[in-house]
């Protein structure tokens, strides 16, 4: 990651003094990653764009109170995650969010799909259809797992940074990450298992 370099390139002092050129610089440095997170979180370009805009509007309004306890990038992720979660709630206000209260101490579900699909050719693993399926699988994860997986495995944050962005303990992040990964593995195994059968028939 280029976190250190990009941080050095930005002047927090200028940002906090209301320097608009510096803010534009910050927007260009971080808007791609914030948009990607929102898009994968919500699965909808319009909703993702709204979250992107609101995230930077809020960042502009509250940069004065940013204390630098986390990196700017983690701070922006935190704002974006909150906005995205609010957007999810607006999308499906009637769906009970039972999974939100599931305990992190619950046992991890044992893997059920045991097909080895690793040998499928790259063009099959990364076909346009497969990519759509990869995105779909993410949107099927419960939000609490989805957001952890996106920050850690798609955005490449460390366990510690993910914990900071989500206000969770590192232990909770690790548990949710394992569940998210195993859940996606099950979903992908079902999908690629079918491709494998087609290939072999």
Partner 1 sequence: MEKENCESLLASLSDYVDGVAQEELCREIERHLAECENCRVVVDTLKKTISLYHAVSETALPAEVRERLFMRLNLEDFLHL
* 3-class secondary structure per residue, 146-161: HHHHHHHHHCCCCHHH
Cβ atoms of residues 37 and 150 within 8 Å: yes
User: Measured from the CB atom, is 71 or 113 closer to partner 1?
Assistant: 113
- Is the separation of the CB atoms in 120 and 195 below 8 Å? yes
Complex with partner 1: residue 24 or 99, whichever CB lies closer: 24
Find the shortest distance in angstroms from Cβ 102 to partner 1. Answer: 18
Contact 99, 183 (CB under 8 A): no
Q: Which is nearer to partner 1, 36 or 78 (CB)?
A: 36
| CB of residue 166 to partner 1, shortest distance in Å | 16
Write out the binding residues for partner 1, residues 87-126 only, by CB under 8 A: 108, 110-111, 113-118, 125-126
Contact at 8 Å (CB) between 143 and 85? yes
Task: Tell me the window of 77-85, 94-102, 161-169, 179-187 that interacts with partner 1 (CB under 8 A).
Answer: 179-187
Alpha-carbon gap, residue 160 to 147, rounded angstroms:
14
Stretch that binds partner 1, among 9-17, 62-70, 75-83, 150-158 (CB under 8 A): 150-158
């Amino acid at each position: 990651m280029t976190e250190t370099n990009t941080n050095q390139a930005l002047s927090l002092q200028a940002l906090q003094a209301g320097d608009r050129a510096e803010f534009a610089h910050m927007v260009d440095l971080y808007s791609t990653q914030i948009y990607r997170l929102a898009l994968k979180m919500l699965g909808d370009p319009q909703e993702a764009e709204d979250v992107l805009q609101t995230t930077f509007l809020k960042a502009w309004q509250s940069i004065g109170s940013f204390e630098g306890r986390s990196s700017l990038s983690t701070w922006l992720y935190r704002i974006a995650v909150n906005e995205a979660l609010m957007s999810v709630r607006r999308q499906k206000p009637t769906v009970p969010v039972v999974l939100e209260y599931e305990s992190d101490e619950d046992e991890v579900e044992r893997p059920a799909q045991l097909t080895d699909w690793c040998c499928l050719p790259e063009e099959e693993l990364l076909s346009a259809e497969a990519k759509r399926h990869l995105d779909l699988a993410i949107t099927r994860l419960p939000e609490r797992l989805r957001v952890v997986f996106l920050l850690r495995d798609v955005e490449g944050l460390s366990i510690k940074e993910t914990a900071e962005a989500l206000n969770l303990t590192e232990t909770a992040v690790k548990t949710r990450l394992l569940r998210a990964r195993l859940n996606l593995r099950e979903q992908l195994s079902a999908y690629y298992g079918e491709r494998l059968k087609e290939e072999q028939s």
